[in-house]
A = this chain, B = another copy of it.
């Protein structure tokens, strides 16, 4: 199967497999069966085998997957061989928390630029990085070769800020503003909205309450 034809839903599960396999690797485990991995992840062995087999033959009948090898292969498939530089745009409470978060580097990402339009914030430092004027995005993003941004600006300016980022060369946006953004074809977007997560649960919790 051509890699371009692999369903998006399968791609979306690979980072979840990778996260668990990396943790098992840190714990010193060498091999795992699709059965056990399925139990850890609350899914079936069949689904894991089917998903992973899209990319080649990584498991052995009887012994299962070699964890360090599968981690390496998943990192390669997801283009995580090198660290990606990321910009955080909008340094409010959440942008600040993301800028200080230490967990990105192990997962393939390094925050290398911070932008805000508030004169009170511009020039301040977080973890050694200086908050830059958002009006410099068009020159600084290409200069730094940044392809990915986390967008943590207010809803009212989210679309226009995303447009500026895309024109500057950004090809993937992790959008924290609770609004659907329209981006040109070929630009990736993932949304993070805690209220959506909460509302996905209340459908079920409310049924049992009633």
Residues of A within 8 A of B (CB): 3-4, 11-12, 14-16, 18-20, 23, 40-42, 77-80, 84, 86, 92-94, 96-98, 100-101, 103-104, 107-109, 147-148, 150, 155, 171-172, 174, 178-180, 182, 186, 188-210
Contact = CB atoms under 8 A, between A and B. Distances in A.
Given A80-B199, A86-B198, A3 B188 contact: no
B15 A199 contact: yes
A74 to B, nearest CB: 9
Give this chain's copy count.
2
Contacts of A14: 199, 203
By secondary structure, the A interface counts as helix
A209 B148 CA distance: 13
Nearest to A189: B201
Contacts of A93: 96-97, 100-101
Most buried by B among A20, A80, A94, A200: A200
The 7 closest A-B pairs by CB, nearest first: A79-B206, A172-B201, A93-B97, A15-B199, A107-B195, A190-B197, A188-B201
A109 B197 CA distance: 11
